A and B are shown apart, each in its own frame.
Chain A
Amino acid sequence: MSLKDKLNELHERGLAEIKKSGDLKDVNQVRVSLLGKKGPITEVLRGMRDLDAEERPKVGAFANEIRDDLTAALAKRREELENAVLNAKLTNEAIDVTLPGTPVAKGEPHVIQQIVDQIEDLFLGMGYQVLSGPEVEEDKYNFEMMNLPKNHPARDMQDTFYITKEILMRTQTSPMQARTLETHDFSKGPLKMISPGVVYRRDTDDPTHSHQFHQVEGLVIDKHITMADLKGTLQVLAHELFGDKFDVRLRPSYFPFTEPSVEADITCFNCGGKGCKVCKNTGWIEVLGAGMVHPNVLKMAGVDADVYGGFAFGVGPDRFAMLKYGVDDIRNFYLNDVRFLNQFTKKG
C-alpha cells in the first residue's frame, strides 16, 4: 500500500470516528489518537524518509491537507457538541413567557388635551399661530368688542359668571379675536391663529352641561379670505379629527360676531349618515359654529373692514370627545376618575 493510499484510508477512518464521537471527551480522544505525536499520521510522515526526493514534497503536502481537514472536522464537531450542551442547559431555564411584564410607571395625557393638541398640530401645519388669552376677561373683550353691546338680547344666550360689573370669567374664547385683531400688524402678513382654552358658563353641572369646558377659537383675516376657505378649512378639521370619510355641511345660524353665520354639521359617526337616534335621524351632528367675521368686530378693533375680512370658528373639544368616544356625561372630563383617564391611550 502506497503512503498516499494509507493517508486516504486514515482520512476516511478519521472522519468516521469524528462523526461517531458523542461528547467532548470522545472528540478529544479522537484528536489525540489521530493527530497526536504517536498517531498514525505522524507515523506516515515519518515513513516519508524512504521516499525519493521528487515524491517527498507531494506526499508531504497531501498529508498536511488531510491533517488540516481532520483538524477542521474536529473543531466543527466540538462546536456542535458544545451547542447541544448549551441548548440542553437553556431549555432547562425556560420561563413562562405569558406571565405579565414588570409594571413601569406611565401616564396619559387627558383626552381633552389630546384633542386640543391634535387641533393645534393641524393648524400649526397650515401656518396658524397658537395664542392663549386670559380666563378672567373684561366685559369689553368678551362681549362688547364681539358685537354684543350691553343690552343685546343674545347676551341672554350666555349665562355669565361675573366677578364685578366689568370683569367676568370668559364665556367663550372669542375675546381672543378682539385681542389679536387689536394688536396684529397686517403689514407683516395675514392673521391666522387658533386660541384654545378653558371657558366658563353659569350652568348647573349635569350630564350635558358643565360650568367649565374648553373651546378652540380660530381666526383668519387677510385681504382675500372667502367663505369657501372657511368651508374647506372646516372640512380639513373634520377629516383630521374624525377621518376622511366624514363630510361637512354648513347651515345658517346666528352669532352676533359673524355675518354670515353658520353652524357646521358632520356626518353622524354612529350611523355613517343613514340616520339614527344619536343624530335624531338626520344623519348629521352639529359640531361647531363659524362665520365670516362681522365688520363691526373688525371696526371696533381698529381694522379696516373695507380692506380686510375673513372667517372665525369656535369648536368645543369636550363635545368632540363626547361624540367621538360616546362619553355620556361631560362631568367625566373634570372628575378625573383614573379608570376614565386610562381609557384614552391612543394619541391622535
Chain B
Amino acid sequence: MKISYNWIKEYLDLNVKPADLAEKIERTSVEVDSVVKPSDGLKKIVVGHVLSIEAHPDSDHLHICQVDVGEDEPLQIVCGAPNIAEGQMVIVALPGSRIADNVKIKKSKMRGIPSAGMICSLQEIGFPEAVVPKTYVEGIYVLPADAMPGDDVYDYLGMNDSLIDLDVTPNRGDMLSLYGALHDLSAIYDLPVKFDQPAVKEAGEPTADQLSIHVDEALAPQYKMRLVKQVKLAPSPMWLQIRLWNAGYRPINNVVDVTNYIMLKYGQPLHAFDYDKFAGQDVYVRNAKQGEKLTTLDEGEHDLDPNDIVIADEKAPIALAGVMGGLDTAIADGTTTVAIEAAVFEHDHIRKAAQRHNLHTDASQRFERGVNRTGLQDALDAAAQMMDELAGGTVQAGTVVAADNVPAPAVIDITMTHINAVLGTTLDQPQVTHILEMLGCTVTAAGDTLTVTVPVRRNDIHIPADLLEEIARIYGYDELPATLPTGRMTMGELTTAQKLMRATRHSLEGLGLNQAISYALTTEDKAKMFLMQPSETTKLAWPMSVDHAVLRMNVITGLLDDIAYNSARKVKDVALYEQGRVFYREDGTERPSEQEHIAGAITGTLLPAAWDQPAKDVDFYQVKGIVAAYLKDMAVNGDVTYVANTDMPEMHPGRTADILVHGHRIGFMGQVHPTVAKQFKIGATYVFELNLQAIIDMPKQENQYDVISRYPAITRDVAMLVDNDVTNDQIVELIEKRGGAHLQSVKLFDIYDGVKVPKGKKSLAYTLTYQDKHETLVDDAVTQAFEKVEKRLQDDLGVEIR
C-alpha cells in the first residue's frame, strides 16, 4: 500500500524527511518497498495556456499550437493529441526538459514545422496508465483553469509528495490505512495524533423505511448501510484525485472516489450501489446458490460457488461480498441514489472466494487480514458526509444496522519479569506502560503484573508474546543488547555418521572429484534408472514441470545431467561426485524412506593433458582405483570384492562390477551403457554409486600399530600363461592361500595378451614378497615356498609358468 508523506504530516507533527520516515517504518513496523517522489527525475515541465491552434498543413491529426508558458513570447508546439483545444491549461515539457524514463525533450521540427517542446499526457510524465482518469487516457491532460502558465506542474498534480510503499505482512492488516499507520507512527515517534471525524448532516426519510437487510451473521458479523439521495455525479476535486492516484487508484467520480478514499483513510472497504437498480427494497447477505452467476464491475463473468458470500436483492446476486461489486448495480451515469455498504465478512470465505475467482482486490485483501471492527460507523459516516459535500447528496436519516457483532478487546496479563527475561532488557514499568499506551492499549499495573487491554483494531495481539513484539519493536531492536546464551553447557560434536559423510566428501575431493549438488526431483524415466533395489516411484501431485516431477531413486542420473550440461558447453573433462538422498518407496505406503547415497561420474580424462603427460581417457580401472581408495579411506572392515555384473540395463554388460563388502552388495561401478550415454547426449562415462548408509553402518577397522620388520624382504617374480577366463582374483587368492607363512604381498606387475601369446590365453606376471618379522629369511626356504605356489598354480588353474 502506498501511503502519502504529506497526508501523514496533516495529522502528525513530524520533523523527518520522507526517506528517514520510511527507514523508521521499516525498522519498527512493516517493510517498505520503496519511497518515490513522482517529480524526481523530471525537469522543466510547466503549465502552458493554449492560446490558439491551427491544423498542420501536412498532417491530418497534428496541430500547431501557440502556448503561453509564462514567458514574453508564446511557444509554438506541434501536438498530436486528439483532445487538444484552445484555452486549455496543459502540461508543457519545455525544450531541454526531462520527462518520464529520463527522456530529453529538444526543439525539433514535426513534418517541417518547428516545435519548441511537447504538450504531455500524464503517462508521459510518469503516471501509470492505470491511474490516469479515463477522459485523459488517450490524450493530453488538462489542468484546472486557475493554473498559472509558467509554473512547474508538480504541485498542481501532487507530484512533490513522497509515496511510501508499505509491504504489509499478513498479521498487520491494521497498517493498510492512513489511520492505522498513524496509530503506529504515533507510538514510534511518541507524538499525539489528531484524528478527525466529521459529523453527518442527515436529512430526508429514515433509511430503515427504504431498505431492509437480511444477514447471515456467520458470513457477515457486521453489516451496515446508509443511503445518500440526489447525488450529482461529477469528477472529484483535484485534492481528492491527487490522493487517489498517488495511492495507485484511478479517479472515477465523486461517489466511487469517496469509497476508495475512505478505505485508504480508515482501512474499511466500502461499496457503493446504485440503489435505484435494486429489485425491491430488500437486501440479502447469504451464500450463493448453485447456478447463480454474477458479472462484476470489471465485466468479469463468474459462476458462483455455494461457498461464495453474495449480496443479493430479491432476484439475484448484486455483489461478490468483500471482493467486488456487480456491474448491474454499479454507480454509473444517471445514478442519483447511493447505498453505501460497510461490512465485515468472514475472512476465510473471502480468501477462498478471491482465490476461486482470481479476484484479489484491495477489499478482499483487507477482509482476509481483518479490518477495524470498531471503525465501521465512522467510515460509513465520513463517506456519507463526503458525498453530501462533494456530490450534493442528501444523507438519509439513520443507518440500517443488520448485524454488529463487535468482538471484545483482548485482555492480556504480562509481568515485567517476563518481559525483561525474554527480551534480555532492563525496562521499567513506566517505560513499558508508556509504549503500550501510545499503541492505544490501556494498562493497569498490580505489582509486577500489567493487565493490558488491547484495542480491537489490533486483531494480531492475543497473547503475551504478541505484546513482547510490540514492546520490543517500539523500544527498538537496536537498543537490545547482543549476548550469547548462557546456562548449562552442551557439547557440540558431529555424530559418527556426520563425520563419515564429511570424510567421504574430503576423500573423493582428494581423489580428484568435484562435489556436485543436483536436483532431487527428476523425470519418471530418470528416477527409475540405475536402481540398486526394487522400489516404487514417488510422484509430486502437482509438479511445475515434467523435468522435476518424481523423486530420484539414484544419484547417478543427476550427475549425467550435469555432464550433459557441461558437454553441451564444450567442457569435455568432468569428474563429479554427489552425496545425497534417494527415495525408495514400498508399495502401499505414501511416504518413501530416504537413504544416503554417494555417487560419482567421470567422463573425458581425470587429468588434463599437459606438456609432460599425455591425457588418458578415463577407464574402468581408474574409477575402480577411486572407489578402492575411498573405501580404504573409510576403513571399511572386511574384504572388498568386485564381481562382474552383466545384468544392469543402464550399464555396459562387460564393464560393470558390483561392489561387495564381506559378500554384501553396497553398490556398483562401471561404464554407462553406450545407449544410455547417447540418450543423455554424453560421451563414454564411468560411474559408481554406493549406499552410503550401509558404509556408515558397517564396522570399521581401528587403527593399530604393527612392528615394521627389521629383516630384509626377498622377492620372487612369476610369469604365467593362463586361460582368458581365469581372473586376477582367482590367481591372487590361490597365491595368498598357498604362499606360506612368510608371504607378505602379491602384486600384479604385467599383463600381456599381444602377438606372442597363444589365442585364448593371456600372460600375467606377479611379484611375491616374503619377509619374516623375527629373523632373516633363508633363501632356500623362500625358494621352497615359491615352488610350492608355482605347482599349485599349474595344478589348480592350469597355468603355464614361463
Taken together as a complex, chains A and B put the C-alpha atoms of A162 and B540 apart, in Å, by 6
**With known contacts A135-B520, A166-B590, A335-B562, A235–B465 Cβ distance under 8 A:** no
In the assembled complex, how far is the CB of residue A283 from the closest CB belonging to chain B, in whole angstroms?
A: 10
Residue from the list A104, A136, A232 in contact with B594, Cβ < 8 A: A136
In the assembled complex, how far is the CB of residue A129 from the closest CB belonging to chain B, in whole angstroms?
A: 7
Taken together as a complex, chains A and B put the C-alpha atoms of A190 and B487 apart, in Å, by 8
Contacts of A192 on B, CB cut-off 8 Å? 485, 490, 492
Contacts of B369 on A, CB cut-off 8 Å? 153
Contact A227 B170 (CB under 8 A): no
**A residues contacting the other copy or chain, number (CB 8 A):** 90
**With known contacts A224-B486, A231-B480, A337–B27 Cβ distance under 8 A:** no
Contact A113 B517 (CB under 8 A): yes
Contact A108 B515 (CB under 8 A): yes
Contact B23 A282 (CB under 8 A): yes
Residue from the list B465, B494, B514 in contact with A260, Cβ < 8 A: B465
In the assembled complex, how far is the CB of residue A9 from the closest CB belonging to chain B, in whole angstroms?
A: 57
Taken together as a complex, chains A and B put the C-alpha atoms of A292 and B489 apart, in Å, by 21
Taken together as a complex, chains A and B put the C-alpha atoms of A104 and B569 apart, in Å, by 24
- Residue-wise interface mask of B (508-543) relative to A, using a CB-CB cutoff of 8 A (1 in contact, 0 not): 111111111111110000000000000000111111
In the assembled complex, how far is the CB of residue A176 from the closest CB belonging to chain B, in whole angstroms?
A: 14
Contact A113 B505 (CB under 8 A): yes
Judged by a CB distance under 8 angstroms, whether B792 is at the interface is: no
Taken together as a complex, chains A and B put the C-alpha atoms of A102 and B608 apart, in Å, by 10
Contacts of A169 on B, CB cut-off 8 Å? 521, 540
Contacts of B489 on A, CB cut-off 8 Å? 127, 189
**With known contacts A212-B521, A336-B516, A222–B492 Cβ distance under 8 A:** no
Residue from the list B23, B498, B511 in contact with A107, Cβ < 8 A: B511
Contact A229 B424 (CB under 8 A): yes
Contact A161 B540 (CB under 8 A): yes
Contact A124 B515 (CB under 8 A): no
Taken together as a complex, chains A and B put the C-alpha atoms of A250 and B607 apart, in Å, by 49
CB contacts under 8 Å to B, within A314-342, are 333-339, 341-342
In the assembled complex, how far is the CB of residue B802 from the closest CB belonging to chain A, in whole angstroms?
A: 35
Contact A228 B482 (CB under 8 A): yes
Taken together as a complex, chains A and B put the C-alpha atoms of A260 and B480 apart, in Å, by 13
CB contacts under 8 Å to A, within B68-127, are none
**With known contacts A226-B483, A259-B465, A261-B469, A108–B581 Cβ distance under 8 A:** no
In the assembled complex, how far is the CB of residue A103 from the closest CB belonging to chain B, in whole angstroms?
A: 5
**With known contacts A110-B515, A164-B590, A228–B483 Cβ distance under 8 A:** yes
CB contacts under 8 Å to B, within A94-148, are 99-100, 102-110, 112-113, 117, 120, 123-130, 134-136, 138
Judged by a CB distance under 8 angstroms, whether A33 is at the interface is: no
**B residues contacting the other copy or chain, number (CB 8 A):** 99
Judged by a CB distance under 8 angstroms, whether A85 is at the interface is: no
In the assembled complex, how far is the CB of residue A137 from the closest CB belonging to chain B, in whole angstroms?
A: 9
CB contacts under 8 Å to A, within B473-489, are 473, 477-478, 480-489
Taken together as a complex, chains A and B put the C-alpha atoms of A163 and B550 apart, in Å, by 10
Taken together as a complex, chains A and B put the C-alpha atoms of A335 and B425 apart, in Å, by 47
In the assembled complex, how far is the CB of residue A295 from the closest CB belonging to chain B, in whole angstroms?
A: 6
Judged by a CB distance under 8 angstroms, whether B591 is at the interface is: yes
Contact B518 A336 (CB under 8 A): yes
In the assembled complex, how far is the CB of residue B448 from the closest CB belonging to chain A, in whole angstroms?
A: 15
In the assembled complex, how far is the CB of residue A262 from the closest CB belonging to chain B, in whole angstroms?
A: 7
Judged by a CB distance under 8 angstroms, whether A31 is at the interface is: no
Judged by a CB distance under 8 angstroms, whether A167 is at the interface is: yes
Judged by a CB distance under 8 angstroms, whether B571 is at the interface is: yes
CB contacts under 8 Å to A, within B341-361, are 347-348, 351
Contacts of B591 on A, CB cut-off 8 Å? 136, 138, 163, 167
**With known contacts A105-B511, A105-B512, A106-B512, A127–B544 Cβ distance under 8 A:** no
**With known contacts A105-B511, A222-B485, A254-B169, A227–B27 Cβ distance under 8 A:** no
Taken together as a complex, chains A and B put the C-alpha atoms of A117 and B544 apart, in Å, by 31
Contact A107 B509 (CB under 8 A): yes
In the assembled complex, how far is the CB of residue A141 from the closest CB belonging to chain B, in whole angstroms?
A: 12
Residue from the list A126, A164, A224 in contact with B541, Cβ < 8 A: A164
CB contacts under 8 Å to A, within B385-401, are none
Judged by a CB distance under 8 angstroms, whether B777 is at the interface is: no
Contact B521 A211 (CB under 8 A): yes
**Which of A40-48, A60-68, A73-81, A199-207 faces chain B?**
A199-207
Contact A107 B577 (CB under 8 A): yes
Taken together as a complex, chains A and B put the C-alpha atoms of A284 and B611 apart, in Å, by 50
**With known contacts A166-B590, A190-B487, A231-B481, A198–B571 Cβ distance under 8 A:** no
Judged by a CB distance under 8 angstroms, whether A208 is at the interface is: no
In the assembled complex, how far is the CB of residue B504 from the closest CB belonging to chain A, in whole angstroms?
A: 11
Taken together as a complex, chains A and B put the C-alpha atoms of A292 and B468 apart, in Å, by 10
Judged by a CB distance under 8 angstroms, whether A225 is at the interface is: yes
Contacts of A337 on B, CB cut-off 8 Å? 565-566, 569, 571
- The residue in A112, A162, A204, A252 that gathers the most chain B C-beta atoms within 10 A of its C-beta is A252
**With known contacts A129-B492, A198-B520, A309–B541 Cβ distance under 8 A:** no
**With known contacts A107-B512, A124-B493, A292-B468, A100–B610 Cβ distance under 8 A:** yes
In the assembled complex, how far is the CB of residue A28 from the closest CB belonging to chain B, in whole angstroms?
A: 39
Judged by a CB distance under 8 angstroms, whether A6 is at the interface is: no
Chain A residue with Cβ nearest B468: A260
Judged by a CB distance under 8 angstroms, whether A157 is at the interface is: yes
Contact B569 A154 (CB under 8 A): no
- Residue-wise interface mask of A (9-43) relative to B, using a CB-CB cutoff of 8 A (1 in contact, 0 not): 00000000000000000000000000000000000
Chain B residue with Cβ nearest A203: B544
CB contacts under 8 Å to A, within B438-487, are 463, 465-466, 468-469, 472-473, 477-478, 480-487
Contacts of B575 on A, CB cut-off 8 Å? 105, 107
CB contacts under 8 Å to B, within A248-299, are 248-254, 259-263, 280, 282, 292, 294-295
CB contacts under 8 Å to B, within A164-206, are 164, 166-167, 169, 189-190, 192, 198, 200, 202-204
Contact B469 A162 (CB under 8 A): no
In the assembled complex, how far is the CB of residue A208 from the closest CB belonging to chain B, in whole angstroms?
A: 16
Contacts of B169 on A, CB cut-off 8 Å? 253-254
Contact A130 B540 (CB under 8 A): no
Judged by a CB distance under 8 angstroms, whether B47 is at the interface is: no
Contacts of B608 on A, CB cut-off 8 Å? 103
Contacts of A225 on B, CB cut-off 8 Å? 485, 487
Contact B607 A104 (CB under 8 A): yes
Judged by a CB distance under 8 angstroms, whether B21 is at the interface is: no
Judged by a CB distance under 8 angstroms, whether A56 is at the interface is: no
Chain A residue with Cβ nearest B22: A282
Contact B539 A163 (CB under 8 A): yes
Contacts of A128 on B, CB cut-off 8 Å? 490, 492
Contact A124 B494 (CB under 8 A): yes
Judged by a CB distance under 8 angstroms, whether A70 is at the interface is: no
**Which of B9-17, B28-36, B688-696 faces chain A?**
B28-36
In the assembled complex, how far is the CB of residue A73 from the closest CB belonging to chain B, in whole angstroms?
A: 43
Contacts of B172 on A, CB cut-off 8 Å? 254
Judged by a CB distance under 8 angstroms, whether B606 is at the interface is: yes
Contacts of A250 on B, CB cut-off 8 Å? 477-478, 480
Judged by a CB distance under 8 angstroms, whether B181 is at the interface is: no
Contacts of B571 on A, CB cut-off 8 Å? 337-339
Taken together as a complex, chains A and B put the C-alpha atoms of A123 and B484 apart, in Å, by 12
Contact A189 B505 (CB under 8 A): no
CB contacts under 8 Å to A, within B130-146, are none
Chain B residue with Cβ nearest A231: B482
Can you list 30 residue pairs at the A/B interface with Cβ under 8 Å?
Answer: A99-B611, A99-B612, A103-B608, A105-B511, A107-B509, A107-B512, A107-B577, A109-B505, A109-B515, A136-B591, A153-B170, A161-B542, A161-B543, A202-B542, A211-B521, A211-B544, A212-B519, A226-B483, A227-B422, A227-B480, A236-B484, A249-B478, A252-B27, A252-B473, A252-B477, A254-B170, A259-B463, A260-B469, A337-B565, A342-B514
> Given contacts A128-B492, A251-B26, A295-B463, could you give 15 more A-B pairs where the C-beta distance is less than 8 Å?
A105-B512, A107-B514, A110-B514, A163-B538, A226-B421, A229-B484, A232-B481, A251-B477, A259-B463, A260-B468, A261-B469, A292-B468, A338-B571, A339-B571, A341-B515
